[in-house]
């Protein structure tokens, strides 16, 4: 019955099934997995318009996860999204006739990454059950990925998770989300230095093949295929709500760093879902804005900003988009990625396949936009979401801004902009929990010994 096949963007890895692609994460040739063919969703849309979020997610994902038994998949999807605190999961909040917000922060860690990681945690658990082999997840974070990954995996039998982060450089509430879980399979590790130092240790440890094999090491980064597919669902959900309301062409404005979120939406337009446009909204780290406005993809240095989860100059999902831009020519993708890795960059003469445009917003703009959106609509936006609200609409096209995090996660910036203190009960509750974290030296061998002792 399994018929959906996944190929590597670099074309030198074997074709795999959904479950294999999820377990591997990165393809063995260094590429990213993409579906060999994308389904045409048009025949499903009328029926799918009547479904609730969880059922829609199941119907969509079963087209891709066709080697997972149907009822098992349904159970995992339901369990993943019942952790959310809103019945719609991704409520579409209307601010005016042609402007709405798609709130993606109703999951356990109050940021959009929960949509993917709540499901991925359950797929990992299934894998452990099938193979009988435990998994050790190791990653580095500057904030939201670490907390969402931890909450996707905490308490799951056979899975341990180690997250490195730069001591003193993640937002205090993000640290509490990682370090106050009380779960004994979760190990938050604070190291001195920057996010790059943490990331480097993780890369070094993944390069140690004996260690990888001994502890069953697995990465939980934004390149996992399951993350992209899980994120397609809320665009589809929103599009179906807009259809219901008789709204025509709509531009989804997506606060962007690694290009994972917006790529998911854009892939739906390749599945023939009509009426979709996209705008890539960056902060001052604007490599993707430069690419979409000039065709030139060349990295600058990363500057800290008020929207820290978008402080990225090497968008890890970009390679999937290049594969589409280059019509699936994997030799060409290999050449492009080699150029990018060598610092030579990439130039495309038609970067906006379909309808993608872009914008950027610096820190001053972020504060000003939070204030303006509050004044105009009484709506409180977090600093990442603010980048999306800065985009001038196209005439005759309605806009949906994706709210990627709850303002309660970034109270200092929001308070400075509008004088209000955004709160969320789940964050308030963390204040009473003890912080359990491990301070280690920024040294791969120290971290390796620690993981071996606890895995
Ligand atoms: C991760 C994150 C982003 C960026 O998402 P990408 O998929 O990397 O583009 C934006 N906003 C928030 C709050 C995030 O946590």
Model pLDDT for residues 358-369, shown as the tens digit of each residue:
999 999 999 999
Residue 441 CA to chain centroid, in angstroms? 29
- 121 inside domain: no
What does the pLDDT look like over 368-394, one tens digit per residue? Answer: 999 999 999 999 999 999 999 999 999
Q: What is the pTM of this model?
A: 0.95
Residue at 214 is within a domain: no
Region 322-346 average pLDDT: 94
Calculate the average pLDDT of the chain: 94
Q: Is 259 in the pocket of ligand 1 (CB under 6 A)?
A: yes
Best residue among 115, 402, 404 to mutate for probing ligand 1, ranked by most atoms within 8 Å of CB: 404
SS3 200: helix
CATH number of the CATH domain containing 253: 3.40.50.1100
> What is the number of structural domains in the chain?
1
Residue 220 included in any domain: no
User: How does pLDDT run across 16-41, given as a tens digit for each residue?
Assistant: 999 999 988 888 898 999 999 999 99
Calculate ∠ Cα 113-431-162, nearest 5°. Answer: 45
The tens digit of pLDDT for each residue in 285-316 reads 999 999 999 999 988 888 889 998 888 887 88
Q: Residue 365 falls within a domain, yes or no? A: yes
**Is residue 432 in some structural domain?**
no
- Tell me if 183 is assigned to some domain: no
Cβ–ligand 1 distance for 144 under 6 Å, the answer yes
Q: Is 289 within a domain?
A: yes
- CA distances from residue 379 to 102, 234, 382, 418 in whole angstroms, order as listed: 13, 21, 10, 11
CB–CB of 111/117 below 8 Å?
no
Q: Does 50 qualify as catalytic in the annotation?
A: no
The predicted model gives 90-105 an average pLDDT of 97
Could you list the residue range(s) of the whole structural domain that residue 258 is in? 89-110+226-422
In a domain, 304, yes or no: yes
Q: How far is CA 131 from CA 70, 104, 158, 405, in A?
A: 19, 33, 11, 35
Cβ–ligand 1 distance for 404 under 6 Å, the answer yes
Q: Is 45:240 a contact under the CB 8 Å cutoff?
A: yes
């Amino acid at each position: 019955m399994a018929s959906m096949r996944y190929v590597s963007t670099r074309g030198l890895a074997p074709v795999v099934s959904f479950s294999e692609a999820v377990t591997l994460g990165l393809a063995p040739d260094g590429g990213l997995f993409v579906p060999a063919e994308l389904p045409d969703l048009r025949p499903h849309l009328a029926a799918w318009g009547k479904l609730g979020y969880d059922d829609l997610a199941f119907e969509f994902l079963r087209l891709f996860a066709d080697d997972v038994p149907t009822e098992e998949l349904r159970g995992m999807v339901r369990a993943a999204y019942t952790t959310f605190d809103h019945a719609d999961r991704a409520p579409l909040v209307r601010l005016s006739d042609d402007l709405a917000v798609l709130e993606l922060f109703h999951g356990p860690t109050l940021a959009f990454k929960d949509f993917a990681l709540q499901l991925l945690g359950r797929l990992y658990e299934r894998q452990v059950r099938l193979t009988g082999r435990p998994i050790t997840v190791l990653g580095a974070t500057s904030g939201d990925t670490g907390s969402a990954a931890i909450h996707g995996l905490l308490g799951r039998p056979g899975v341990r998770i180690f997250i490195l982060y730069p001591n003193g450089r993640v937002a205090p509430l993000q640290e509490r989300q990682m370090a106050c879980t009380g779960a004994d399979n979760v190990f938050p590790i604070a190291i001195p230095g920057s996010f790059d130092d943490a990331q480097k240790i993780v890369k070094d440890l993944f390069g140690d093949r004996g260690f990888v094999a001994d502890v069953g090491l697995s990465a939980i980064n934004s390149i996992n295929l399951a993350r992209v597919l899980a994120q397609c669902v809320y665009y589809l959900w929103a599009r179906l709500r807009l259809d219901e309301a008789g709204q025509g062409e709509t531009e989804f404005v997506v606060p962007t760093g690694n290009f994972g979120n917006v790529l998911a939406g854009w892939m739906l337009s390749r599945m023939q879902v009509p009426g979709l446009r996209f705008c890539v909204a960056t902060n001052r780290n604007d490599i993707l804005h430069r690419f979409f406005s000039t065709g030139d993809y060349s990295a600058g240095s990363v500057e800290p900003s008020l929207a820290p989860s978008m402080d990225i100059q090497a968008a890890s999902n970009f390679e999937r988009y290049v594969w589409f831009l280059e019509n699936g020519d994997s030799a060409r993708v290999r050449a492009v990625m080699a150029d990018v890795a060598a610092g030579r960059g990439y130039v495309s003469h038609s970067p906006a396949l379909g309808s993608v445009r872009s914008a950027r917003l610096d820190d001053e703009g972020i504060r000003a936009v939070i204030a303006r959106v509050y004044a105009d609509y009484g709506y409180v936006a977090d600093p990442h979401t603010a980048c999306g609200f800065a985009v001038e609409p196209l005439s005759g096209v309605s806009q949906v801004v994706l709210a990627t995090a709850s303002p309660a996660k970034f109270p200092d910036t929001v308070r400075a902009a509008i004088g209000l203190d955004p709160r969320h009960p789940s964050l308030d509750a963390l204040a009473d929990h003890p912080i359990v974290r491990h301070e280690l030296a920024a040294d791969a061998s120290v971290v390796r010994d620690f993981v071996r002792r606890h895995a």
